[in-house]
């Protein structure tokens, strides 16, 4: 049995899956003043009456770290930053105290000038004076050579409880982002540690010995122990859970747009050959641009409860939400009211819904039904406009070779996959706008929890071998070793695959059946004068993204329950609808296709190069 | 978070899959470390800096500038069309006001490509800036352009293209042609009869340092620009004046290049040469990007920098001052010089020999410019090479009068087929390009 739990903005959803079937569902309101309690009480309820030894895996998508950052409830962090020449340094300052030290490493990884131990000692003193317990150390080009960061760490290690080193957060180049990422990691360390200790302890008490993992923003999981060391990886996992959920419910291997239409917002995602697109460098949280690997998702202020007004004789929907729909006792007209008016949604008071739309109809000189239709068409047009804008950005992502520029993959969605309340109402209208089929599963209420349950361990590494300097480095793993002059691309590729496997296993993956791949490799001759003096080999390897494959085929819901906390429409699961026509694809009830999503190609697989 | 004072567009296209040969200076790896530096500095995250992909230029774009023998398609590779397309994209970003300035970090370079192209010379097959400028004039009208070529090698290709075009001021400063390829670019190369004095060369002595370059900028380039009042300033941004460049002998630094771009304030900069790919390019390019964006570049310092590497002797300093005076005198008296040189002439002929170092081709050509009162005058090139090509090229300039247009068309139509292996007509008025 696998447990999937997703903590959303208002609710916590949790499910138990057994052999591809959802056997239990719990939905509870989230209490943001006590996140641990919220999660634990949901889990406890879910596990009630279940044999604890039957639970093998628990995957949690939490907002623990995200909330701490967004609400500014993080620890004070002391930063030791070595900027070296280049851009002015001051602008990267972050956290409680920043100490800029001298010395630097160049783009080849050559330590041009060493650290000054006196400066480090002064930094230690300063942080102690200010009672700072968490620190981060970041040097420019530490991904090329971590020596300076390690040397500093050695000096300070006894003095502080948690030291985050820049090179361990990511193998990608981007010094300001590495500073932010390292800072955030140190800043949420305490908060996440407390949470993970609590969870581990509480499960122990209940006799549950399952492997506990935390969902990451890239749609994969990491063990709770690895997450404790790199808690920054656990930020913003919500959208990833929802994308994985849609993928699980709607199987596709082509280019597609995925939508999650909620009450307040609509999230857009993209698939290339069935594999999700990733953020090119890393995700942004609050004001911080980071190197945290993440699914590409864009949120727009448009949902079932968005406020509708008339401006310049035109309907304006969102981006604000002012409360419930009018028909449910809210203050303003919303798309939900329009759906009720058209008889496409059977909730609330339809008289109230009509009342809400009446002034809009007067302003526009239309009938109430016409306005209702116009509201939904406008929504579809807004989604189309945003999708087009994003696609044009995605398809003009920077490329660096003639081959890619002339023959590179262009993302051309062949279908739309969609979850959320208004899915069945919007689908036909989206089809009309996009001219491609729009599919939605009936069963979407706990899609995020399904996504969390089916996530697998993901990770990537960046390897650079410089045969002229005789060095090989894999920053994420702290690998920095000597190689000989004849070290080849082939040897480097093999090493990269071995290392990425080791890393995944250390993060909780099972070795058997682990699929790894090289997603970028290049080799450059390094020339001095007119002689080749060595090779510069660059490799990016990853665990293939996607869902665990043990659930090929179907998700069947076996649950029937009278528990009020359990979501009601479970009996209504009736498969996937195609083209907005109910049931045209489904051959039997109570099932939905599960995507395995292990296709390869485009930016998706690379985890880092769209847009 | 950093915010650019000038909105800057960057076309960064390192063409990692293109090289003249694996160990040639113009090779795959050339912009690799520049890319590393740009990525690590987080340039992409600076507010107000936009990155663009190149577009792919068309054969017609090339034909506006070149007589490519036997044909554009036969001589250019995909990477040439993309390199030019990169510059065009940078130009469009500026002209459409998406950005204030743009920097095209592209390769292969182009400033040695002349009007007639038999092959590769000085690593160039197509004159990137010229093709970009003519596309700009086609799309946005007859703009007055100043090209400042800061590559260490004389921009002989650009000089050839704009030799007789008064609307395009070309100033090249470079290491003295007696000591470096291509061996031209002396101060008496001043332009054709209708643009005499609008082609200016500043052949600097070897070991000219940061101060010398700044002196030339302050005392020659900026005063002339003040007077010329261009609509658009373009920096042909070669980076081989750097003290660590393996092919040249100058003492210029990354910060020197940055300061130059700050003072010059070009609308568009286009990368040309520069082959110190580890020690110089990453720093020069970041320096130019910061300077163009109006950001602080004072911390951009090469790992091996020391003040003596960018110093110059008093002897060099004096030579630079004297040279600057001479160029300013020529500029000041250009009207009188035209009168003296071309008075009473109907046609001006220019005979020369061009060597294609990269492809080992020797060309002999005669350029003939009509001296016309109404316009800059129809002109022709007859050229032959040691490969058996025999070429006629007729150019009707954008400002051509009716008489010159007719003369140009007649010349092309009546050219005897047997006399030439290839004949070309460049009709810039109708934007039509023919060959037979």
CA B18 to chain A, closest CA, distance in angstroms equals: 7
Tell me what ipTM this predicted complex has.
Answer: 0.94
CB-nearest partner of B78 from A402, A524, A525 = A402
pTM score of the predicted model:
0.91
Phi and psi at residue B119, in whole multiples of 5°? Answer: 175, -155
Tell me if A89 and B32 make a contact (CB, 8 A cut-off).
no
Tell me if B28 and A524 make a contact (CB, 8 A cut-off).
yes
| Residue A491: pLDDT over 90 | yes
Using an 8 Å Cβ cutoff, are B299 and A89 in contact?
yes
Question: Which bin fits A457, alpha (ψ -120 to 50), beta or left (φ > 0)?
Answer: beta
d(CA A193, CA A215): 16
With beta carbons under 8 A apart, name residues in chain B contacting A286: none
> What pLDDT, on the 0 to 100 scale, is given for residue A605?
32
* Contact status of B50 with chain A (Cβ, < 8 Å): no
| Residue A445: pLDDT over 90 | no
> What pLDDT, on the 0 to 100 scale, is given for residue A569?
33
The answer to whether the peptide bond before residue B182 is cis (omega within 30 degrees of 0) is yes
Q: Give B104's pLDDT tier (boundaries 50, 70, 90).
A: very high
Q: Give A584's pLDDT tier (boundaries 50, 70, 90).
A: very low
> What pLDDT, on the 0 to 100 scale, is given for residue A158?
81
Among the listed residues B66, B112, B154, B174, the single catalytic one is B112
With beta carbons under 8 A apart, name residues in chain A contacting B290: 87
CB-nearest partner of A85 from B15, B32, B301 = B301
Q: Which fold has domain B3-334?
A: 3.40.800
CA A88 to chain B, closest CA, distance in angstroms equals: 6
Q: Testing the interface with A: which of B42, B254, B276, B283 to mutate, by most A Cβ within 10 A?
A: B42
Distances (CA, A) of A84 to A101, A109, A199, B45: 9, 13, 42, 19
Residue owning tokens 């913003």: A236
Tell me if B33 and A108 make a contact (CB, 8 A cut-off).
yes
- What are A533-550's pLDDT values in tens digits? 899 999 999 998 888 853
> What pLDDT, on the 0 to 100 scale, is given for residue A474?
96
Tell me if A87 and B79 make a contact (CB, 8 A cut-off).
no
With beta carbons under 8 A apart, name residues in chain A contacting B84: none
* Contact status of B387 with chain A (Cβ, < 8 Å): no
With beta carbons under 8 A apart, name residues in chain A contacting B276: none
Tell me if B23 and A522 make a contact (CB, 8 A cut-off).
no
B 113-152: CB under 8 A from A: none
| Residue A558: pLDDT over 50 | no
How many other CB atoms are found less than 10 A from the CB of residue A299?
15
Using an 8 Å Cβ cutoff, are A603 and A393 in contact?
no
CB-nearest partner of B42 from A177, A530, A531 = A177
- What are B230-272's pLDDT values in tens digits? 999 999 999 999 999 999 999 999 999 999 999 999 999 999 9
> Helix, strand or coil for residue B315?
helix
| Range of weakest confidence among A442-451, B150-159, B251-260, B345-354 | A442-451
Go through B257-276 and write b for each residue having 16 or more CB atoms within 10 A of its CB, e for each that does not.
Answer: bbbbbbebbbbbbbbbbbbb
Query: How far out from the chain centre does Cα A195 lie?
Result: 20
Q: Residues of A at the B interface (Cβ-Cβ below 8 Å)?
A: 83, 85-89, 91, 106-108, 110, 112, 140-141, 144, 172-177, 281, 287, 289, 396-403, 405-406, 522, 524-527, 529-532, 536
Q: Give A500's pLDDT tier (boundaries 50, 70, 90).
A: very high
Phi and psi at residue B78, in whole multiples of 5°? Answer: -50, -40
Across the range A500-518, mean pLDDT stands at 93
- What are A189-201's pLDDT values in tens digits? 999 999 999 999 9
Count Cβ–Cβ pairs < 8 Å, chain A vs chain B. Answer: 118
Q: Could you tell me which chain A residue has the CA closest to the CA of B34?
A: A107
Q: How many residues does chain B have?
A: 436
Q: Among residues A269, A342, A268, A333, which one has the least CA distance to residue A304?
A: A333
> What pLDDT, on the 0 to 100 scale, is given for residue B21?
84
With beta carbons under 8 A apart, name residues in chain B contacting A400: 12-16, 35
> Helix, strand or coil for residue B380?
strand
With beta carbons under 8 A apart, name residues in chain A contacting B79: 402
> Helix, strand or coil for residue B200?
strand
* Contact status of B208 with chain A (Cβ, < 8 Å): no
- What are A378-426's pLDDT values in tens digits? 999 999 999 999 999 999 999 999 999 999 999 999 999 998 888 889 9
Domains in chain B: boundaries: 3-334, 346-435
Across the range A455-483, mean pLDDT stands at 95
d(CA B9, CA B148): 19
| Residue A57: pLDDT over 90 | yes
Q: Is B24 a catalytic residue?
A: no
CB-nearest partner of A85 from B32, B79, B300 = B300
* Contact status of B244 with chain A (Cβ, < 8 Å): no
Q: Give A319's pLDDT tier (boundaries 50, 70, 90).
A: very high
Using an 8 Å Cβ cutoff, are B243 and B251 in contact?
yes
d(CA A597, CA B187): 67
Tell me if B28 and A525 make a contact (CB, 8 A cut-off).
yes
Tokens of A105: 């490493």
B 299-318: CB under 8 A from A: 299-303
* Contact status of B56 with chain A (Cβ, < 8 Å): yes
With beta carbons under 8 A apart, name residues in chain B contacting A111: none
Tell me if A536 and B35 make a contact (CB, 8 A cut-off).
no
> What pLDDT, on the 0 to 100 scale, is given for residue B89?
98
Across the range A8-35, mean pLDDT stands at 86
With beta carbons under 8 A apart, name residues in chain B contacting A175: 40-42
Q: Among residues A336, A361, A360, A359, which one has the least CA distance to residue A349?
A: A336
> What pLDDT, on the 0 to 100 scale, is given for residue A586?
24
Across the range A439-459, mean pLDDT stands at 87
| Residue A611: pLDDT over 70 | no
> What pLDDT, on the 0 to 100 scale, is given for residue A250?
83
Q: Testing the interface with A: which of B8, B35, B40, B41 to mutate, by most A Cβ within 10 A?
A: B40
B354 vs A161, residue with greater confidence: B354
Tokens of A516: 């790894």
> What pLDDT, on the 0 to 100 scale, is given for residue B317?
97
In order, the DSSP letters of A331-393 are SB--HHHHHHHTTS---S-HHHHHHHHHHHHHHHT--HHHHHHHHHHHHHHHHHHHHHHHHHH
- What are B403-435's pLDDT values in tens digits? 999 999 999 999 877 889 999 999 999 999 999
- What are A203-224's pLDDT values in tens digits? 999 899 999 999 999 999 999 9
Mean pLDDT over all residues of chain B? 96
Mean pLDDT over all residues of chain A? 87
> What pLDDT, on the 0 to 100 scale, is given for residue A443?
67
């Amino acid at each position: 049995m696998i447990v999937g739990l997703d903590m959303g903005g208002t609710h916590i959803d949790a499910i138990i899956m057994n052999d591809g079937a959802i056997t239990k569902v719990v939905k509870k309101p989230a209490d943001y003043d006590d996140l641990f309690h919220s999660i634990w009480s949901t889990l406890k309820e879910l596990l009630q009456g279940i044999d604890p030894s039957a639970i093998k895996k628990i995957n949690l998508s939490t907002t623990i770290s995200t909330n701490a950052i967004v609400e500014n409830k993080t620890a004070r962090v002391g930063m030791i930053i070595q900027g070296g020449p280049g851009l002015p340094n001051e602008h990267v300052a972050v956290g409680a105290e920043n100490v800029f030290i001298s010395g630097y490493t160049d783009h080849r990884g050559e330590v041009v000038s060493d650290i000054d131990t006196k400066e480090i000692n002064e930094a230690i003193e300063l942080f102690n004076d200010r009672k700072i317990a968490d620190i981060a150390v970041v040097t420019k080009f530490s991904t090329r050579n971590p020596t300076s960061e390690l040397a500093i760490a050695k000096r300070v290690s006894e003095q502080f409880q948690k030291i985050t080193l820049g090179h361990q957060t990511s193998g990608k180049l981007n010094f300001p982002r590495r500073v932010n990422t390292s800072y955030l990691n140190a800043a949420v360390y305490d908060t996440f540690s407390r949470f993970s200790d609590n969870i581990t302890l509480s499960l122990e008490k209940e006799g549950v010995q399952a492997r506990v993992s935390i969902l990451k923003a890239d749609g994969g999981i990491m063990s709770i122990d690895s997450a404790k060391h790199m808690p920054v990886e656990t930020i913003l996992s919500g959208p990833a859970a929802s994308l994985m959920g849609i993928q699980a419910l709607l199987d596709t291997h082509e280019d597609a747009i995925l939508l999650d239409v909620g009450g307040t917002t609509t999230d857009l995602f993209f698939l290339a050959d069935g594999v999700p697109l990733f953020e090119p460098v890393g995700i942004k949280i609050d004001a911080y641009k980071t190197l945290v690997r993440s699914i590409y998702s864009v949120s727009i202020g448009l949902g079932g409860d968005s406020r509708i007004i008339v401006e310049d004789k035109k309907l304006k929907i969102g981006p604000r939400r002012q409360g419930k729909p009018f028909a449910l006792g809210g203050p303003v007209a919303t798309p939900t009211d329009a759906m009720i008016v058209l008889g496409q949604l059977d909730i609330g008071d339809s008289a109230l819904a009509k009342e809400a739309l009446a002034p809009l109809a007067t302003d526009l000189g239309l009938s109430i039904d016409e306005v209702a239709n116009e509201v939904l068409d406008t929504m579809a047009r807004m989604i189309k406009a945003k999708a087009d804008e994003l696609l044009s950005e995605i398809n003009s992502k920077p490329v660096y070779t003639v081959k890619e520029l002339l023959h590179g993959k262009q993302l051309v969605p062949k279908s739309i996959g969609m979850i959320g309340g208004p899915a069945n109402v919007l689908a036909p209208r989206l089809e009309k706008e996009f001219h491609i089929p729009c599919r939605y599963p009936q069963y979407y209420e706990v899609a995020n929890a399904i996504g969390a349950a089916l996530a697998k361990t993901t990770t990537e590494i960046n390897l650079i071998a410089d045969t002229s300097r005789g060095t090989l480095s894999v920053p994420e793993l702290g690998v920095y070793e000597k190689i000989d002059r004849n070290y080849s691309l082939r040897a480097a590729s093999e090493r990269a695959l071995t290392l990425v496997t080791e890393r995944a296993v250390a993060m909780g993956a099972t070795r058997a059946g682990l699929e790894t791949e090289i997603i970028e490799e290049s080799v450059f001759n390094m020339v001095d004068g007119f002689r080749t003096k060595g090779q510069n080999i660059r490799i990016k390897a990853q665990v293939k993204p996607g869902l665990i494959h043990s659930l090929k085929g179907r998700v069947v819901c076996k649950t029937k329950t009278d528990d009020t906390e359990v979501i009601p429409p479970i009996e209504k699961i009736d498969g996937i609808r195609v083209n907005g026509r109910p049931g045209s694809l489904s051959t039997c009830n109570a099932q939905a296709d599960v995507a395995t999503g292990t296709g390869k190609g485009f930016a998706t697989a690379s985890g880092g190069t769209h847009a | 978070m950093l915010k650019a004072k000038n909105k800057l567009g960057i076309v960064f296209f390192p063409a990692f899959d293109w090289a003249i040969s694996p160990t040639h200076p113009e090779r795959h790896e050339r912009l690799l470390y520049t890319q590393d530096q740009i990525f690590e500095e987080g340039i992409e995250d600076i507010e107000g800096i936009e990155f663009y992909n190149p577009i792919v230029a068309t054969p017609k774009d090339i034909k506006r500038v070149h007589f490519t023998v036997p044909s554009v398609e036969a001589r250019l590779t995909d990477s040439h069309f993309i390199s030019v397309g990169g510059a065009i994209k940078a130009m469009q970003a500026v002209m459409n006001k998406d950005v204030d300035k743009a920097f095209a970090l592209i390769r292969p370079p182009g400033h040695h490509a002349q009007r007639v192209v038999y092959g590769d010379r000085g690593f160039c097959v197509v004159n990137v800036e010229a093709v970009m400028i003519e596309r700009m004039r086609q799309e946005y009208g007859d703009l007055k352009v100043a090209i400042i070529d800061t590559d260490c090698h004389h921009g002989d290709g650009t000089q050839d293209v704009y030799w007789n075009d008064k609307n395009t001021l070309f100033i090249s400063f470079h290491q003295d042609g007696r000591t470096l390829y291509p061996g031209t670019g002396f101060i008496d190369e001043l332009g054709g009869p209708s643009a005499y004095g609008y082609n200016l060369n500043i052949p600097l002595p070897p070991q000219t340092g940061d101060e010398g370059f700044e002196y030339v900028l302050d005392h020659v380039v900026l005063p002339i620009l003040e007077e010329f009042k261009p609509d658009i300033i373009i920096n042909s941004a070669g980076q081989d004046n750097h003290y660590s460049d393996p092919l040249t002998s100058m003492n210029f630094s990354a910060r020197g290049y940055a300061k130059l771009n700050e003072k010059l304030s070009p609308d568009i900069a286009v990368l040309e040469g520069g082959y110190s790919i580890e020690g110089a390019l990453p720093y020069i390019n970041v320096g130019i990007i910061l300077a163009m964006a109006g950001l602080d570049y004072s911390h951009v310092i090469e790992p091996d920098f020391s003040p003596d590497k960018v110093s110059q002797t008093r002897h060099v300093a004096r030579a630079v001052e004297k040279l600057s005076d001479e160029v300013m005198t020529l500029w000041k008296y250009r009207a009188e010089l035209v009168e003296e040189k071309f008075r009473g002439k109907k046609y001006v002929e220019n005979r020369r020999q061009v060597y294609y170092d990269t492809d080992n081709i020797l060309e002999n050509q005669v350029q003939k410019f009509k001296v016309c009162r109404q316009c800059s005058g129809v002109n022709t090139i007859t050229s032959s090479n040691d490969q058996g090509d025999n070429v006629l090229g007729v150019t009707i300039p954008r400002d051509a009068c009716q008489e010159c247009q007719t003369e140009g068309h007649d010349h092309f139509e009546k050219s005897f087929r047997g006399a030439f292996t290839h004949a070309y007509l460049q009709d810039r008025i109708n934007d039509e390009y023919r060959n037979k």
